A and B are shown apart, each in its own frame.
Chain A
Amino acid sequence: MSVTGRPETKVSAAVVLTDASPATSLPRRRRSLAGLWFVVPFLAVFLFVLVVPVLYSLYLSVFQDKLIGGRSFVGLANYSQLFSDPKFWDGLGRVALFLAVQVPVMLGLALVAALAIDSGRLHGAPFFRMSVFLPYAVPGVVAVLMWGFMYGDQFGLAGNINKLVGHELLTPLSPQWILVAIGNIVTWEFVGYNMLIFYSALRSVPSDLYEAAAIDGAGAWRVVFSIKLPALRQAIVIATIFSIIGSFQLFNEPNILRTLIPSVIATYFTPNMYAYNLSFAGQQYAYAATLAIVMGVVTAVIAYVVQLRGSREANR
């Protein structure tokens, strides 16, 4: 179900974005069907990869599959079961905590990197731009495997350092540190991506603003706070929304690290992992569909709130 859960949440956020943009009020014209043909390809894809899977998930979520007895209609029983399922809340709480800590850290770092590269005071800016972005080009699975080797406290880098120091200094794969360890991987992977969003927004600031600021005698910090950051507001909102979606969909990193530490990372470590294991290990497709829908709604609501807040501040 995680498969249908992904595009669903992503696109729903995109829908939110377009909804909130100011409505274009064109004068009423004679209706022409010619325009329709231009949107048909989009509509067809939209229908088959978004609307149909969502409807199918909704349909599934009111049934129950049993090894004995097969499929039966259960109404909203799956939903009430989900809301009282401690494993679901455990996973949701974990990704919420992850979101609250990791996203600000990552976006902060990305912002600093973008401002530094844009400042013109950095020697070899293209090199930095490239090398900060490079981790994003590493396939996610490879990145996690690589970090997994470094984190290993038996044979990995962490283990070597511990041996050198003589005691258990670094234990990134222990229950206390695992979420931080995953946050570190995700940050490493996505700082460059977010930096690029910010950087491209900075590049689109008209240069006469800077000239005017220089004439007014503004220093570098003044320029950052009065020109660059306001210009970045919309980009920050978008990056935040992407990161919220990414956090709620956390799956790859913990799921791959799980092979190293199966008892530290539970099968319900994140909601997506829970949905995956419910459907593919437990054959509870209907319940997994319910979870995917609830997570889609939760993600869309939070993304919408962020969007609303972001644009309200922008309008002030």
Chain B
Amino acid sequence: MSLHPRRRLRGAAVLAAGVVVGLALAACSSSGGSSGGSTSAGGAAGGSAALDAALSKGGELTYWTWTPSAKAQVAAFEQAYPNVKVNLVDTGGAGDNNTKLQNAIKAGSGAPDVVQVEYQSLLQFVLPKDLVDLTKYGFGDLKSKYSASTWGAVTGANGIWGLPQDSGPMALFYNKTVFDKYGLTVPKTWDDYIAEAKKLHAADPTKFFVNDTGDAGMTTSLIWQAGGRPFKSDGEKVSINLQDPGSKKFADMWNQLNEGGLLGNIPGWSDQWFKALGDGTIATLVTGGWMPGVFEASVPAGKGQWRVAPMPTFGSDTATAENGGSTEVVVKQSKNPELAAAFLRWLNSDPASVKVFLASGGFPATTADLESADFQGKTDDYFGGQQVNKVIVDSSKNVGTGWQYLPWQSYANSIFSDTVGKAFLNKSDINEGLKAWQDQNVTYGKAQGFTVTAG
């Protein structure tokens, strides 16, 4: 398996503002060594001291993930803490990972100590109380290390459930070779985007300006950008309105591409898709900031052809959105939660670990790295020497606030193709598909014991 499925980090359950405030770090951390990794100074000292003790005492942990850098990170950790042994299990991708985790939790044994979970799937493990609340280990002190949106994604429901691993502020990726050949200009707004799509289709119908066969992560992210907030949840109360003004705004815009036959019917993450990205069949892609790593690993043929630009906007509204992102969490089944929490703390906050993560093309959640001149100024040969990170960091400053996912988002996404997908298949009104998706989610939510109101 190559990188594709494992990089399928869709949607981020971001509950708070996406504005990255360049807060200073509470403490400079010593990487590795016996000092206990990076611990912020002061506050909840009892909890964090317990983690330091657990680290020096040592033990064995199991860690499930599909992060490409996991192996190198674990090696660095074991070197720094020789008493701890980490059994790394590659779960291949978010879907399989969730399925395995659900089953192990259901079975009552066999779950890992530490596991990667997408932001959008976090609530479905938090609500049945499957995870350890990390507040008692002093994790609250780490808040200032992370961008507000990712911190919001791992907290809520009166607890801290993990530490952010990465984030996915969205940007526009486009194939410059195709743009030059057909005289296309980089679109600033979605109206421009549609106009350019028509232009390309008229010039060469075998090329697609964009492909979309109905992708839940893409749709929810664009609704997010359009200002829609279709899902609201507060504990057991959930409201769903996939016809709120923002959702309609998205659907009416995307309908012009869908009903106009301008969307390529190549499913994302398929072999065809990777091929089409490399040979110029697909000209643009609007997705999360982790995409450059995927390009470099899985689309070698596109080297030097692709560029990055800010995500097209809805008119003069500069809002952007996020797509994807994961956290690591500690499972309640863990026999040694203190050691697990200590490993997790090192994994997603220690500079030594984040450095390894960045080297493999990850897009960080830590503000120090997002703000660093090194990170933003890094040029990328794949993108013709462009400063890719800078474009994506700029996007992260304009992420719309207050977005929430459903507490059962991964199930909702699984039935997306049954409902909204049909509108894509038939090139018909996406609003109708969204209504059908809403109806099935209302039914499911009620069956799961939530109080659901449909808007």
Contact = CB atoms under 8 A, between A and B. Distances in A.
A127 interface: no
A280 interface: yes
Contacts of B213: 261-263
Interface stretch (A49-57, A63-71, A214-222, A226-234): A63-71
Nearest to A285: B106
Interface stretch (A103-111, A181-189, A193-201, A264-272): A264-272
A68 B447 contact: no
Nearest to A283: B102
Contacts of A283: 102, 106, 124, 411
Given A67-B128, A280-B102, A285-B106, A267 B417 contact: yes
A282 B102 CA distance: 10
Nearest to B417: A262
Nearest to B422: A263
B79 interface: no
B448 A281 contact: no
A21 B415 CA distance: 46
Nearest to A149: B271
A315 interface: no
Interface string B266-286: 110010100110000000000
Given A154-B266, A259-B267, A266-B417, A67 B422 contact: no
A152 B272 contact: yes
A67 B124 CA distance: 8
B382 interface: no
B127 interface: yes
A284 B410 contact: no
Contacts of B408: 67, 282
A263 B425 contact: yes
Nearest to B95: A281
Contacts of A267: 414-415, 417-418
B410 A68 contact: no
Contacts of A154: 265-266, 272, 276
A52 to B, nearest CB: 15
A280 B418 contact: no
Given A266-B418, A267-B417, A68 B424 contact: no
Interface in A245-291: 259-264, 266-268, 277, 280-285
Given A263-B424, A282-B444, A285-B106, A67 B407 contact: yes
Given A154-B272, A263-B213, A67 B421 contact: no
Interface string B93-104: 000000100110
A290 to B, nearest CB: 13
Interface in B415-429: 415, 417-418, 421-422, 424-425
A262 B272 contact: no
Interface residues of B, number: 34
Contacts of B425: 175, 263-264
Contacts of B266: 154
A263 B437 CA distance: 13
A225 interface: no
A34 B61 CA distance: 50
A155 B274 CA distance: 12
B236 interface: yes
A268 B418 contact: yes
Interface residues of A, number: 26
A275 B421 CA distance: 21
Given A259-B267, A264-B425, A68 B99 contact: no
A67 B127 contact: yes
B450 interface: yes
A280 B99 contact: yes
Nearest to B421: A263
A67 B236 CA distance: 9
Contacts of B411: 281-283
A67 B450 contact: yes
B214 interface: yes
Nearest to A81: B447
A268 B419 CA distance: 12
Contacts of A263: 213-214, 417-418, 421-422, 424-425
B402 to A, nearest CB: 23
B136 to A, nearest CB: 24
A66 B448 contact: yes
Given A260-B267, A263-B421, A264-B425, A68 B415 contact: no
Interface of B: 99, 102-103, 106, 124, 127-128, 213-214, 236, 265-267, 270, 272, 275-276, 407-408, 410-411, 414-415, 417-418, 421-422, 424-425, 444, 447-450
24 contacts: A67-B127, A67-B128, A67-B449, A67-B450, A68-B127, A68-B448, A68-B450, A69-B449, A154-B272, A155-B275, A260-B267, A262-B214, A263-B214, A266-B417, A267-B415, A267-B417, A267-B418, A268-B418, A280-B99, A280-B102, A282-B414, A282-B444, A283-B124, A285-B106
- In order of increasing CB-CB distance, the 6 nearest A-B pairs are A263-B421, A68-B449, A66-B449, A281-B414, A262-B417, A69-B449
Given A68-B449, A283-B124, 13 more contacts: A67-B124, A67-B449, A68-B127, A154-B276, A155-B272, A175-B425, A263-B424, A263-B425, A268-B418, A280-B103, A282-B408, A282-B411, A283-B102
